[in-house]
Copies of this chain bind each other. A is one copy, B any other.
């Protein structure tokens, strides 16, 4: 039965590339309010693709850009229900002058398709639509029930998605979620991501005098807000990379020896890593490898800082204020809200006399790790092995995908993060691209996944 599906996919490769090209031609930049009509056009095309695949498709208005859904529920009550997530919005294409060919005029070179959204996420998202279409056009039905949720605000914070999912808590009850918005481990090494870091993000502003002061007239007699901020921030982390926020490590699940071995077995060239970044030494929390630091250890990063004079040469002032933007990557079972409050209260406690501190809490989400020995992960592993001709490795990623936390919270399900892209695909950069071979393999893996999950 699956051989029919696979034959269909092989026979329709050219058509699938054309469908992808049509999707990539729409400049659906969610951050750009001028692109509102393009967003509607992209949502319309997703709706059309879902209908063509035999899904019952709908476009849902939100306070922002619409969410497109597609359902097919006729696999029966015993068959599992799969929630498939993707996004049709893309990052802004700037800087335009660094693109070899225009970002919204998809071109194929050396087996790769170049366009904004090629890999993030249009190219990856539609593999699942094309896979269900292949089943419907050949077998006439799917081995699983499916619910597609394709949103248009991933690149701007998914502000309206949780509200939508909460409202569908009963209706969209499901057994597992599938998201293809990550990467393979290496060009010939497919991967399933089973862990993500969480995040807390905030801004701290310290204000001293009500205006910039002459550093000769006032220097030494009033607290300098930049001196204060650097002192305060320096207390959050020690020289060995250990974060000193009270309770910060209390809920951290330490890596098992088995997981550490699994990480260290992955191919990784520290020399190449350093060369790529032009740094002489890597440095981080003592006692952990670079991979462990990236995937499984929490962080404290000051993302931006400013205050006082920033022009050429010197300026002899005591500035009025200074600001720092901070993110901490979190790991299971750290709690974002709790630690944001702990960071705030720690900074308050070390705020020196004569300084007022303001704190803005931006957003947060928890880190996640799934058990890879469960049925769903094993099914996905078999599906990928079939399509890529190679067993996938199980990896974690250091970034955060808040929707995965939402799926766990709202529907109580694990998410299969199946990445068909590569880290080198220039996502969020000029000349974003997607290897067509991985596009086709991903589609085949998706089709196979429905069979494996339906067994």
Contact = CB atoms under 8 A, between A and B. Distances in A.
A365 to B, nearest CB: 12
A254 to B, nearest CB: 15
Given A239-B352, A325-B309, A354-B281, A363 B314 contact: yes
A216 B399 contact: yes
Interface string A223-267: 110110111011101010100000000000000000000000000
Nearest to A428: B214
Interface stretch (A136-144, A283-291, A403-411): A283-291
A110 interface: no
Interface residues of A, number: 100
Looking at chain A's contact residues, the main secondary structure is loop
A328 to B, nearest CB: 9
A134 B302 CA distance: 60
Given A201-B314, A211-B426, A234-B234, A219 B301 contact: yes
Chain copies in complex: 2
Most B-side CB within 10 Å, residue of A183, A241, A363 = A241
A216 B283 contact: no
A280 B298 CA distance: 36
A197 B216 contact: yes
Interface string A185-224: 0000000000001010111000011111111111111111
Interface string A297-313: 11111111111111111
Given A199-B316, A210-B278, A214-B427, A220 B398 contact: yes
Contact of A31 (B157, B311, B327): B311
A305 B329 contact: no
A303 B314 contact: yes
A337 interface: no
A301 B239 contact: no
B398 A217 contact: yes
B313 A306 contact: no
A52 interface: no
24 contacts: A32-B311, A156-B314, A211-B430, A214-B429, A215-B301, A216-B329, A217-B398, A218-B398, A221-B284, A222-B284, A226-B301, A226-B302, A227-B302, A229-B230, A230-B234, A230-B305, A234-B235, A283-B354, A301-B318, A304-B309, A304-B315, A304-B317, A305-B306, A316-B400
Given A31-B311, A316-B327, 4 more contacts: A92-B315, A211-B277, A211-B429, A230-B324
